[in-house]
Each structure stands twice: as C-alpha cells, then as structure tokens.
Amino acid sequence: QKEVEQDPGPLSVPEGAIVSLNCTYSNSAFQYFMWYRQYSRKGPELLMYTYSSGNKEDGRFTAQVDKSSKYISLFIRDSQPSDSATYLCAMSGTGGFKTIFGAGTRLFVKA
C-alpha cells in the first residue's frame, strides 16, 4: 500500500462546477499538507499549504484536512478552463524534510 493514495482521474467537469479532489494517507505522523498544480510540461506550483487539521480558504480554493480519517481534500469553486491541470497532494511530518506526493489527479474543465 502506498503512503499516499490519489485517484489519477481523469476528472472532467463543465465550467462553473465545484470540483472535489481527494487524497488518503496511511502515516499518522504527517502534519503538513499541500496541494500543487501542474500544467502540462511545467513544474508543480504550490497552491495550498495547511498545517494539521482544519480548513483553509484562498479565493476559489479550499483545502480541508481530516487527520482522524487520514483524508485531505481540495475544493475548487466556479471552476474555469484555466484550472485544467494535474493536481498533486503532498504531505510531510514534523522534524523531517521528506515530502510524499500523490500520483496526481488530472482535471479537465470544459468551456
């Protein structure tokens, strides 16, 4: 079993839809949770960064962490075609550097 599981998709939604992207993990030591967005032939860019459980909102993006269920989510409201990309979840523990990435979910937002 991988430390971080993420459905690779693809996920296709119409413009304006609410998108839900999720990851599950097995290591209870993870404390830092991140979402990266990766456009085709580009490096990943940091989208959201949260510590421990709870919600964090930034514009159209909301990140949720449920440590009791070892489950994290990224919600995108009013999705746009420019949101079409691969979204990778990532997590790491305290006192350590190693960040474990999910395989990424490929999202297509249709105009």
Partner 1 sequence: GAGVSQSPSNKVTEKGKDVELRCDPISGHTALYWYRQSLGQGLEFLIYFQGNSAPDKSGLPSDRFSAERTGGSVSTLTIQRTQQEDSAVYLCASSEPKRNEQFFGPGTRLTVL
Q: Give the footprint of partner 1 on this chain (CB under 8 A).
A: 4, 6, 8, 32, 34, 36, 41-46, 49, 88, 90, 92, 97-104
CB of 100 to partner 1, least distance (A): 8
Please tell me the distance from the alpha carbon of residue 102 to that of residue 72, in angstroms, as a whole number.
Answer: 11
The single residue listed with the structure tokens 């296709």 is 12
| Closer of 10 and 16 to partner 1 (Cβ) | 10
Give CA separation, 33 vs 14, 37, 64, 70, in Å. 28, 14, 9, 11
CB of 16 to partner 1, least distance (A): 28
| Nearest one of 47, 44, 62, 59 to 104, comparing CA atoms | 44
| Closer of 28 and 77 to partner 1 (Cβ) | 28
CB of 38 to partner 1, least distance (A): 8
